[in-house]
Amino acid sequence: MAIDEADYIVVGAGPGGCAVAARLAAARPDRTVMLVEAGPAKPSVLSDVPLGIAALVGRRGAHNYAYETVPQAALDGRRGYQPRGRGLGGSSLINAMIYIRGQPQDYDGWAAAGCSGWSWADVLPYFRRAEDNARGADAMHGEGGPLRVEDLREANAATQAFLAAARQAGYPENPDFNGPVQEGVGPYQLFQKAGRRFSAARAYLGEAGRYPNLIVRADTVCAGVSFDGRRATGVRLRQGDVETSARVREEIVLAAGAFGTPQLLMASGVGPAAHLRAIGIAVVHDAPEVGANLQDHVDYTTSLRASADGLFGLSPAMIVRTLRAIGPWRHEGRGLLTTNVAEAGGFVKSDPALDRPDLQLHFCVGMVDDHGRKSRFGTGYSLHVCALRPHSRGSVTLASADTRVAPVIDPRFLSDPRDMELLVRGATIAQRILAQPALAPLGGRPLRGSLHDDAAALRALIRAHADTIYHPVGTCRMGSDAAAVVDPQLRVCGIDGLRVADASIMPALVSGNTQAPTAMIGEKAADLILRRNASGPIDRPAG
């Protein structure tokens, strides 16, 4: 068995893993950093094209794990669908590229729950440091960082009609969801550069050779962490049928995501002892909450079939439009291929008496049915609504000690009845917006139900059709209590030399999309390892 060695080993090349690996490599040129990723080094051609999301999210392939959940009792016994990115960039290869940080209260809540150093005041410098916003820098935003953030390059008449309808329904316009106030409706800013997807790998890793001391092991599955007693000493790797291992001189950082990181910990012997023994895994450390506390944004979508300018779908005319758009996109980074589909949205309150939004909207310029897995002939548009801070909690457990076998994912969606009632209120708001005069010129016939469903009808529709909007977190909960999986320094409790730097550490789900917060976690993880803070000198990725 071949053996490699590195000072730092990072497992998982999503936004958190790319951030921590690049920052460590830049700050410590005298140290080697190994980045291990199960998926390919090169993205799909469709990934570079923003509209390619329509072909990537709903299908299993080299760049998408396309997991399924166990049957969900509150969703009429259906199995949920959980797409997860695979390759350098992780889920930033296949997501909608939306740049959202969440609400300050989210992070202040983390700090109040015992996560010292994670308040809004603590994390804002990391968001700003990571950001390269095309609008420029101010007190809330940064420029010159690795993550390029831009406005959508093409105005869409259908999206503008949605925003006008939302205003008619009484919701204020908000040009910056990451500014002082999140509430309102508006266009989303995106992880794009010149009309192309700007994945976490492009942002932090760039071209090969950017960091001579960064060793990238793509197409390499991590089979588990090796220990000497309770100290992490290396990782076990598989490349095809070849088994290898890598020793670590300083620290290992797991960044395999809310499903992959608890799976790796448990496969390595760190997790609920009874579960590990049942699978046949020797227990290194009994950590009952590994894989617990799974939280995700449960979402319901209202889709309408319509024929109007700016709408997307499956039709001969759409095929012609797409072919004609290749040239403008390739040469100028413009045209309909630059759309991320979910072009606009908003953050609204289910009750005006609330102090902050508890619902998020995503307006899509196409019909979205079952994550795009059900093809619908014709064009149309959709409005998603999701519960921002769900009460339901699920779990990730092992089906096998082999990390190549998908874990058992049970979000327990809507197991807390408060989530169902919030989603009903959200769906009512969505229908009210869709019924406004500004959208009348688009026309449209709902794929199911009507735009005036009562609460009982909406509950039935939600049970039959609701699912994730792809933001799983929390399965390696950070905290200062005895049950926490990682401490506020992101060190795995009870283990030496092992940290976690991805969305699994979130004690509570943030109010919005999770790519930017996950990159922030990676940024902060690097500083924790390097024992520096966000205000200190930073070695920025070159190029």
> 196-231, pLDDT tens digit by residue?
999 999 999 986 568 999 999 999 999 999 999 999
Choose the weakest-confidence range: 23-37, 307-321, 526-540: 526-540
Distances (CA, A) of 267 to 49, 275, 500: 36, 11, 15
65 and 207 in a common domain: yes
Q: In this structure, what CATH number is given to the domain that contains residue 528?
A: 3.50.50.60
Selection from 350, 356, 346 nearest residue 172 by Cα: 346
Confidence band (pLDDT; 50, 70, 90) for 1?
Answer: very low
Is position 407 within any domain? no
143 and 266 in a common domain: yes
pLDDT of residue 378: 85
Is position 311 within any domain? yes
pLDDT tens digit sequence for 386-436: 999 999 999 999 999 999 999 999 999 999 999 999 999 999 999 999 999
323 and 281 in a common domain: no
DSSP state of 242: E
Q: What is the mean pLDDT of the chain?
A: 95
340 and 225 in a common domain: no
Choose the weakest-confidence range: 46-60, 335-349, 430-444, 509-523: 46-60
Integer Cα distance of 134 and 127 in angstroms: 15
170 and 140 in a common domain: no
pLDDT of residue 208: 59
Among residues 141, 371, 384, 471, the one annotated as catalytic is 471
pLDDT of residue 320: 86
Average pLDDT estimate for 342-369: 96
**pLDDT at residue 543 greater than cutoff 80:** no
**pLDDT at residue 54 greater than cutoff 50:** yes
Integer Cα distance of 68 and 340 in angstroms: 24
At 503, list the tokens: 């969305």
Domain end position, chosen among 437, 465, 493:
465
Q: Which amino acid is at 48?
A: D
DSSP state of 505: G
Confidence band (pLDDT; 50, 70, 90) for 120?
Answer: very high
pLDDT tens digit sequence for 8-51: 999 999 999 999 999 999 999 999 999 999 999 999 999 999 99
136 and 269 in a common domain: yes
Average pLDDT estimate for 338-342: 96
Is position 450 within any domain? yes
331 and 200 in a common domain: no
Confidence band (pLDDT; 50, 70, 90) for 368?
Answer: confident
Choose the weakest-confidence range: 234-243, 386-395, 498-507: 234-243
- Angle at CA of residue 507, ends 352 and 140, nearest 5°: 60
Is position 502 within any domain? yes
460 and 519 in a common domain: no
3-class SS string, 343-371 = EEEEEECCCCCCCCCCEEEEEECECCCHH
Domain span holding position 432: 153-187+298-387+415-465
Is position 457 within any domain? yes
Average pLDDT estimate for 361-386: 89
Residues 183 and 349 sit within 8 Å (Cβ to Cβ): yes
438 and 325 in a common domain: yes
Number of compact structural domains in the chain: 2
Integer Cα distance of 134 and 235 in angstroms: 40
Confidence band (pLDDT; 50, 70, 90) for 139?
Answer: very high
Integer Cα distance of 411 and 210 in angstroms: 39
Domain end position, chosen among 425, 445, 465:
465
160 and 145 in a common domain: no
Integer Cα distance of 142 and 131 in angstroms: 5
Integer Cα distance of 232 and 137 in angstroms: 41
More confident residue, 2 or 347: 347
106 and 76 in a common domain: yes
Q: In this structure, what CATH number is given to the domain that contains residue 367?
A: 3.30.410.40
Is position 395 within any domain? no
**pLDDT at residue 542 greater than cutoff 50:** no
pLDDT of residue 404: 97
Domain end position, chosen among 434, 465, 496:
465
Residue ranges with strand state E in 257-348 = 270-271, 285-286, 298-305, 312-314, 342-348
Average pLDDT estimate for 150-166: 95
247 and 106 in a common domain: yes
Is position 260 within any domain? yes
Q: Phi and psi of 282, rounded to 5°? A: -70, 135
Selection from 219, 186, 252 nearest residue 88 by Cα: 219
Residues in the chain, total: 543
pLDDT of residue 539: 57
- The sign of the CA dihedral 135, 141, 143, 149 is negative
- Residue in the block written with tokens 């959202």: 100
Is position 264 within any domain? yes
Q: Is 471 a catalytic residue?
A: yes
Average pLDDT estimate for 455-478: 98
**pLDDT at residue 281 greater than cutoff 90:** yes
